[in-house]
Amino acid sequence: MNPYSSNNLDFGDEHRLGGRGRFLQRIHLDGPLLFALLLLASIGLIVIYSAGSQDSGLMLRQIIRLILGFIMMVAIAQIHPRTLSHWAPWIFAAGILMLVLVLVLGEVGKGAQRWLNLGLFRFQPSELMKLALPMMIAYYLGSTPLPPRKLRLLACSLLVIIPTFLVAKQPDLGTALLIASSGIFGLFLAGIRWRLIVSMFILMAASAPFAWNMMHDYQQRRVLTFINPETDPLGAGYHIIQSTIAIGSGGVYGKGWLNGTQSHLDFLPERSTDFIFAVLSEEFGLIGVLLLLSIYLFITARGLMIASQAQDTFTRLLAGSLTLTFFVYIFVNIGMVSGLLPVVGVPLPLISYGGTSVVTIMASFGILMSIKTNRKLVG
Amino acid sequence: MAKLDSFTLKDPIRESLMFNRRLMITVVVVIILTLILLGRLFLLQVINNTHYTTLSEKNRVNILPIAPTRGMIYDRNGVLIAHNVPSFILQIVAERVENMEATLSLLKQLITLSDAEIKRFKRKLHRKRKFVSIPLRYRLSDTEVARIAVNQYRLPGVQIKAELSRHYPIGKLMAHVAGYVGRISEADLRQLDTSEYRASSHIGKVGVEKFYENILHGKIGFQRVESNAQGRIIKVLERNLPTPGQTLYLNIDANLQAIAYKAFGEDNGALMAMDPETGAVLAMISVPSYDPNIFVHGLASEDFNKLRKSPHRPLFNRALRGQYPPGSTLKPLLGLAGLELDELQAYKPIDCKGWYVLDDDVDQRRYRDWKKTGHGSTNLIDAIAESCDIYFYDLSYKLGIDRIHQYLSAFGLGNKTGIDMEGELKGIIPNKDWKRRHYNEMWYPGETLINGIGQGFMLTTPLQLTSFTATLSQAGKRVKPVILKATQDPKTGLIQTIKPQPLPSVHQINVNNWETILGAMRKVVHGAKGSARGMGYGLKYKMAGKTGTAQVFGIKEGEQYKKEELKKKLHDHALFVAFAPYEKPRIAIAVVVENGGGGGSVAAPIARKIMDHYLLGKGNEPVLVK
């Protein structure tokens, strides 16, 4: 390390950083990522204040959640990737066990069950799985040469399918989708052959009718409504119709903060949670949307950069799949709210109110920061 | 470090290259997906912005119609006949109710709720649009409103709505005049301007309420409001107030109505009084009456059937639609015809033996007088005053049915008077042609005799009787009977009085002939042998009138009519027509008492009570007690 280096713009070479950069490096945080996340959280709070009809209590609860999330991020950033790699199988096994437990308790308690009541607080095992699966895949594929062989691939697909199935059965289609994609990204980045990818798509398409039959009524309805929302304008299609109206009526400049009529007159359902993007689009217009997407893209780019600069397979795969999963959140949420995709319960990261997802997302950024700051010092 | 080194058994350079290649692919995919999102948002926010702005405005802004306040109705002296009172309606939005049966049973514990009301509610429930509230109970009491309010948290979807509802404070007295309003039916909807009635729930169904619906209703108003998804109004953007309906003042005198109803007692019948000069209808009653208030909120079908099937037919407006044989009340008109056509001389008597035989009748059938012993030597004046049938058999025979028809028609009989109310009937004044058309039979001379004393085919309504009496009193000048006196704009207070509407007069009648006939009618009341002299006793003004008795069923030749032995239903109808004061007539009146018996003894005293009050102001003390 050269303590006299003044070049603190080159984030790639932390050993030459000085001042603030050195401090952040020492506490294992990545400055640009941290800044972008804080910016995102602030925008989120501004939108939540409007979406929640100026309810400061709602905002306060979100602030507490965000603080918890940031603490979580900082804490996880302190853990060395090697340790994470050691824990991966155990965390994964515990996650599967808890998912099964939740399902069994759900059978007993009737209806959807996603929570595990641990006395002091309630815990959502599916959220843990969002981290556990990419860790497990990265750990499993990181121990052998890439690209993986056939037997390993088969084991990997089991690793993906089992938790996905368990979560989808809860039923929580949104989370199942995110878990599955995190695993698939790991496999893709590990370099599985294109032939395999193509045949997997064909297999998925072929199994679609079976998946349809396994879906719950409300899930089937959502898909049907997505295909033609006008069939039920007061029922299931209502969400999509109202959110596209909100977005479309926002125009380029928006109706102004606190002036969204769709949201403030209750036309927009779930407006502080899953549909918060519609509030933002209505009040801040295309300009607000562009700003938000820029921040998201910056975070995604930063995550992919960290993955690219990571020095072993485990960290590469983990950083890559976590970042891409983060992007899936964004794409699925905005796609759903703007009527491109069917309605699945996926929040807009760090903007949507509530949910354990804040903690999970911040934890994944903690992992990214740990990977970033624990590279072997070359030279 | 040593542990990590074991990975280097693989080919780290190749793996790193491969990984970065894959990463680049994902970067491309991320960019493509972001562009798709941006494209979608650009489409929504820029290209289709106008479309979605319109939709969002449509969501936000609602145009709500405001019902105008219905015009009030007063009598000629300002006595209130119809007004609007606040009333509470319990209504339910089915979509907001979790369990309809549970809600209904809870409501049943809180307020009185009949099975019929629940049945009606459920019927409406099947035929409604989404999120439309359906009324369950009308006219909640204050206690009931409070009970619902306290339990509101247990009753999602249940609402209490305040509205103005029509009320008739002296309902029964005015039922056949004012009529009533009722809920707008599907049949009503087909005929009315639905845009004007978008906010209205009621419409005039009969009587004045129906006839003057267009001026009572007023003009609809609108407000543009911003409302939320639940339809709750957040703020009013623009308001265009409705124009209230006109206030109506009727010619009817509520006091006369009250006196008349009291005078009828237990009897059924009708009474009509009008100002002969202006046509102003001073009183119009049909006995029995009913309470119009029960129709305002719609009544259960069994209650309606009870009213409809009652043998006394309270819903039937006898004054306008009751067609009775005019009986002897027609005699002054026949007498006038006789004088004019010079078929008789007023003072040339005939000999009344108590029966009449047509000259060329081979059977020598006897047409009887009501007085078995006959009236002896009788001239026209006596014949009217004492109501001698034989004289008029003879006269009718001389006139022939077609000339009778012509004269009676000139007085408006057999035609509608054109009163400002719907449903008036025409009655029947026959002639030879009429019989051929309706019976396909020739006219028999004997029928002329029967019809000449107002029996047989002859039918008139109490309204027509009043109208021709008024015409007689005005020496042939005719005027349309009107119920409406004036309208008043509730905003400006501007009063518009309805002008009398003259009808074609009865022409070419010698003044002397009028005086002869009217003098004879005066003798009916004031003459020593007048058929209504009993009633005329102690009268403080001069009245001219004519009694009549209409047979309800035929009495065979030679049979005696024994009043006591007949069932009430088969008694003759008692009729009386009159006007007063004789010198300058101010009121003309017709009374029909169904199955009442004699016109002079039963119908005439009722007419006198009305006239006494109207002309002498007798009983200025409040008569208006229900």
The three-state DSSP-derived secondary structure of B104-116 is: HHHHHHHCCCCHH
Average pLDDT, stretch B586-600?
89
B611 confidence band (pLDDT: 50, 70, 90): very high
- Nearest chain B residue to A283 by CA distance is B45
Check residue A232 and give its pLDDT. Answer: 61
Question: Would you say B411 and B378 are in contact if contact means Cβ atoms under 8 Å apart?
Answer: no
Q: What are the structure tokens assigned to B287, written together?
A: 């006995």
Quickly list H helices, B498-603. Answer: 511-526, 533-536
- Residues counted in chain B: 626
Query: Which DSSP state fits B361?
Result: -
Indicate the range of B201-215, B335-349, B508-522 predicted with least confidence.
Answer: B335-349
Cβ <8 Å between B19 and A245 = no
B156 confidence band (pLDDT: 50, 70, 90): confident
Domains and CATH numbers, chain B: 87-163 (3.30.1390)
Which residues of chain B make contact with A327, given a CB cutoff of 8 A? 30, 33
pLDDT in tens, A243-264: 999 999 999 999 999 999 888 8
Residues facing residue B487 across a β-bridge: B248, B496
Q: How many CB atoms lie within 10 A of CB B110?
A: 18
Cβ <8 Å between B226 and A265 = yes
Cβ <8 Å between B37 and A189 = no
Judged on CB neighbours under 10 Å (0-12, 13-18, 19+), A73 is buried
- The residue among B17, B22, B62 with the most chain A CBs within 10 A of its CB, best to mutate, is B22
Residues facing residue B164 across a β-bridge: B86
Average pLDDT, stretch B587-601?
88
Give the A window 125-184 contacts with B, CB below 8 Å.
Answer: 142-147
Cβ <8 Å between B229 and A267 = yes
Give the A window 87-126 contacts with B, CB below 8 Å.
Answer: none
Q: Token match 């059937």: residue?
A: B305
Question: Would you say B44 and A338 are in contact if contact means Cβ atoms under 8 Å apart?
Answer: yes
- Regarding predicted confidence, which is higher, B304 or B7? B304
Which residues of chain A make contact with B234, given a CB cutoff of 8 A? 265
Which residues of chain B make contact with A229, given a CB cutoff of 8 A? none
**Which residues of B carry out catalysis?**
328
- Nearest chain B residue to A253 by CA distance is B45
- Nearest chain A residue to B23 by CA distance is A189
Q: What are the structure tokens assigned to B275, written together?
A: 């100002």
User: Pick from A242, A247, A300: which is nearest to B45 by CB?
Assistant: A247
How distant is the Cα of B311 from the closest Cα of chain A, in angstroms?
Answer: 53
Percent of chain B with pLDDT over 70: 92
Cβ <8 Å between A265 and B18 = no
Which residues of chain A make contact with B28, given a CB cutoff of 8 A? none
Cβ <8 Å between B53 and A308 = no
Instruction: Please state, in angstroms and rounded to a whole number, the distance separating the CA atoms of residues B405 and B424.
Output: 20
Judged on CB neighbours under 10 Å (0-12, 13-18, 19+), B253 is buried
How distant is the Cα of A337 from the closest Cα of chain B, in angstroms?
Answer: 10
- The residue among A265, A271, A314 with the most chain B CBs within 10 A of its CB, best to mutate, is A265
Cβ <8 Å between A265 and B30 = no
- In sequence order, the 6+-apart residues with CB closer than 8 A to the CB of A71 are none
Check residue A49 and give its pLDDT. Answer: 93
Question: Would you say B490 and B244 are in contact if contact means Cβ atoms under 8 Å apart?
Answer: yes
Question: In 3D, which of B84, B93, B92, B130 has the Cα closest to residue B111?
Answer: B92
Cβ <8 Å between A248 and B53 = yes
User: Could you write out the DSSP letters of every residue in B603-617?
Assistant: IHHHHHHHHHHHHH-
Q: What are the structure tokens assigned to B498, written together?
A: 């309805």
How distant is the Cα of A330 from the closest Cα of chain B, in angstroms?
Answer: 9
Rg (CA), chain B: 37
- Nearest chain B residue to A251 by CA distance is B45
- Nearest chain B residue to A194 by CA distance is B22
Indicate the range of B112-116, B297-301, B533-537, B545-549 predicted with least confidence.
Answer: B297-301
- Nearest chain B residue to A308 by CA distance is B20
Check residue B341 and give its pLDDT. Answer: 79
A378/B contact by beta carbon, under 8 A: no
* A156: three-class secondary structure by DSSP: helix
Check residue A36 and give its pLDDT. Answer: 96
Give the A window 314-373 contacts with B, CB below 8 Å.
Answer: 316-317, 320, 324, 327, 331, 334-335, 338-340
- Nearest chain A residue to B22 by CA distance is A189
Check residue B39 and give its pLDDT. Answer: 95
Q: What are the structure tokens assigned to B480, written together?
A: 């349309």
Average pLDDT, stretch B377-389?
89
Q: Token match 């005086």: residue?
A: B515
pLDDT digit of tens for each residue in chain A (379 aa)?
Answer: 344 444 444 444 445 555 667 888 888 999 999 999 999 999 999 999 999 888 888 899 999 999 999 999 999 999 999 999 999 999 999 999 999 988 887 665 545 566 766 655 567 888 899 999 999 999 998 887 777 777 888 899 899 999 998 988 887 888 888 999 999 999 999 888 888 888 888 888 888 788 778 777 777 777 777 666 666 665 657 888 899 999 999 999 999 999 998 888 888 888 888 899 999 999 999 999 999 999 999 999 999 999 999 988 999 999 999 999 999 999 999 999 998 988 888 899 999 997 678 889 999 999 999 999 987 654 3
Cβ <8 Å between A313 and B34 = no
Average pLDDT, stretch B139-165?
86
- Nearest chain B residue to A261 by CA distance is B60
Cβ <8 Å between B51 and A248 = yes
Instruction: Please state, in angstroms and rounded to a whole number, the distance separating the CA atoms of residues B289 and A146.
Output: 102
Judged on CB neighbours under 10 Å (0-12, 13-18, 19+), B362 is exposed
- Residues counted in chain A: 379
Cβ <8 Å between A293 and B37 = yes
Q: Highest mean pLDDT range out of B116-120, B555-559, B584-588?
A: B584-588
User: Pick from A146, A251, A308: which is nearest to B18 by CB?
Assistant: A146
Check residue A239 and give its pLDDT. Answer: 84
A234/B contact by beta carbon, under 8 A: yes
- Nearest chain A residue to B231 by CA distance is A265
Which residues of chain B make contact with A261, given a CB cutoff of 8 A? 56, 59-60, 226
Which residues of chain B make contact with A262, given a CB cutoff of 8 A? 56, 59-60
Average pLDDT, stretch B491-495?
91
Check residue B623 and give its pLDDT. Answer: 45
- The residue among A152, A181, A249 with the most chain B CBs within 10 A of its CB, best to mutate, is A249
- In sequence order, the 6+-apart residues with CB closer than 8 A to the CB of A183 are A133, A134, A137, A156, A159, A160, A163, A164, A321
Size of interface A-B (CB pairs under 8 A): 143
B203 confidence band (pLDDT: 50, 70, 90): very high
Cβ <8 Å between A293 and B38 = yes
B300 confidence band (pLDDT: 50, 70, 90): low
Cβ <8 Å between A286 and B234 = no
How distant is the Cα of B15 from the closest Cα of chain A, in angstroms?
Answer: 6
Check residue B7 and give its pLDDT. Answer: 44
Give the A window 261-290 contacts with B, CB below 8 Å.
Answer: 261-262, 265-267, 281, 285-286, 289-290
Residues facing residue B546 across a β-bridge: B577
How distant is the Cα of A64 from the closest Cα of chain B, in angstroms?
Answer: 31
Instruction: Please state, in angstroms and rounded to a whole number, the distance separating the CA atoms of residues B480 and B281.
Output: 10
Indicate the range of A80-89, B57-66, B280-289 predicted with least confidence.
Answer: B57-66
Q: For B80, what's the count of Cα atoms within 13 Å in the CB-facing half-sphere?
A: 10
Cβ <8 Å between B228 and A265 = yes
How distant is the Cα of B99 from the closest Cα of chain A, in angstroms?
Answer: 19
User: Pick from A144, A297, A338: which is nearest to B44 by CB?
Assistant: A338
Cβ <8 Å between A145 and B15 = yes
User: Could you write out the DSSP letters of every residue in B433-445?
Assistant: HHHHHHH--PPPH
How distant is the Cα of B59 from the closest Cα of chain A, in angstroms?
Answer: 8
* A375: three-class secondary structure by DSSP: coil
Which residues of chain B make contact with A240, given a CB cutoff of 8 A? none
Which residues of chain B make contact with A286, given a CB cutoff of 8 A? 41-42, 45-46
A293/B contact by beta carbon, under 8 A: yes
